[in-house]
Amino acid sequence: MIPFNKPPYTGNEEKYVIEAMRSSKISGDGGFGLRCQAWFEQTLDCKRALLTPSCTHALEMAAILINVEPGDEVIMPSYTFVSTANAFALRGAKIVFIDIRPETMNMDERLIEAAITSKTKAIVPVHYAGVACEMDTIMDIAKKYSLFVIEDAAQAIVSTYKSRPLGTIGHLAAYSFHETKNVTSGGEGGLLIVNDEQFVARAEILREKGTNRNQFFRGMVDKYSWVDIGSSYLPSELQAAYLWGQIESIDELINSRLHIWELYHELLLELKMKKKIDLPTIPNECIHNAHMFYIKVPNLDVRTKLIKHLAADGVMGIFHYVPLHSAPAGMCFSRFNGEDTFTTRESERLIRLPLWYGLGSQQVKLIAGSILRFFS
């Protein structure tokens, strides 16, 4: 069976994890943690980059930092992972979903303004498959209504919008280093990216259980005390060590994925030409990171049959998000603003194909061949 995912591993991770284990510092913000953060701060040119135990935690930190309170509303797509919504629902916010654009599966920025009320606090664009949302429009609307923008850039490391790295455009952003993402910190992990100076000091405090421990170690204050709410949002040094091994090989990790993505695209293009399937669209202003390769078939019934057909050929193809507004918790914590024209329909047509570091060209040809046979 060709699995849907294999966690990326490039070779040096083991050496660095052992190095971390043998050092006398294995809790958060050790040598590897600081090295990773410095790399992100330099590469992204952001105000602060803080490793977290997951992207979920980074999103939770973002919700606390912008002071989301019960009754506030947060606008996002319904076609996303639960954590995008949970981070804000945990603070008592009402989640306001809007429809997506079928060509990218990203929030339709033209529907944002109609969803804004006096209670709206933030907009949360999700860069699906590492392809950017229409950020210029989103930032203009946020400015006009004094809203915060938190990018869920979980899938979007290395991707850009008009040459700007995703995660550096909103006030705050989050990356994921889960084993299913392009880069992992040993299975679980994330990053909070702070682009607005006003959040830097509080983000550090929040992450250190509400203490000024970080400032204390830098000699900025003479005692270490409880100064605000907070939690344990530091990952272990072992996770950072694994991540450092991946960061060192990041070009190879991404280029190899792009090669696989291009090959899928080339092999399946004839099916698109014959109008049997749809392929992902990459807008001109976006450079993507080949996080995902998906196709869209005519409907749910065809998808179910294709997944079975692929499984019989030893290939794991899988569907993705079930829209959150239709989930049991979605009914409690959210409302869908406007019409659901594309969210449900497009999510039922989508199937993701195996894409992981080390997947060979022969395997990609076998998978594409199986799909071509299905439609012939």
Ligand X SMILES: *Cc1c(COP(=O)(O)O)cnc(C)c1O
* Nearest residue (CB) to ligand X, 182 versus 256: 182
Range in contact with ligand X (rule: CB under 6 A) among 29-37, 77-85, 143-151, 249-257 = 77-85
Range in contact with ligand X (rule: CB under 6 A) among 53-61, 115-123, 161-169, 309-317 = 53-61
- Give the number of other CB atoms < 10 A from CB of residue 217: 12
* Nearest residue (CB) to ligand X, 138 versus 154: 154
In the complex, minimum distance from the CB of residue 180 to ligand X, in angstroms, rounded to a whole number? 7
**Token reading at 294:** 């998906």
In the complex, minimum distance from the CB of residue 83 to ligand X, in angstroms, rounded to a whole number? 4
Tell me: does residue 347 bind ligand X (CB under 6 A).
Answer: no
Select from 292, 244, 289, 290 the least CA-distant residue to 51.
Answer: 244
* Nearest residue (CB) to ligand X, 74 versus 126: 126
Tell me: does residue 83 bind ligand X (CB under 6 A).
Answer: yes
Select from 355, 289, 271 the least CA-distant residue to 317.
Answer: 355
Cα–Cα distance, 138 to 164 (Å, whole number): 15
Cα dihedral 360, 364, 370, 373 sign:
negative
Cα dihedral angle (47, 50, 55, 60), rounded to 10 degrees?
A: -80
Tell me: does residue 236 bind ligand X (CB under 6 A).
Answer: no
Cα–Cα distance, 101 to 107 (Å, whole number): 6
Question: Over the range 33-43, which residues count as b (16 or more CB within 10 Å of their CB) and which as e?
Answer: beebbebbbee
Select the residue interacting with ligand X from 17, 30, 49, 80 (CB under 6 A): 80
Tell me: does residue 84 bind ligand X (CB under 6 A).
Answer: yes
Select the residue interacting with ligand X from 151, 152, 204, 208 (CB under 6 A): 152
What backbone torsions phi and psi does residue 333 show, to the nearest 5 degrees? Answer: -100, 0
- Give the number of other CB atoms < 10 A from CB of residue 373: 10
* Nearest residue (CB) to ligand X, 154 versus 157: 154
Tell me: does residue 293 bind ligand X (CB under 6 A).
Answer: no
- Considering only residues 168-207, where is the footprint of ligand X by CB under 6 A? 176, 178, 190
Tell me: does residue 288 bind ligand X (CB under 6 A).
Answer: no
Which residues here bind ligand X, judged by CB under 6 A?
54-56, 80-81, 83-84, 126, 152, 154-155, 176, 178, 190
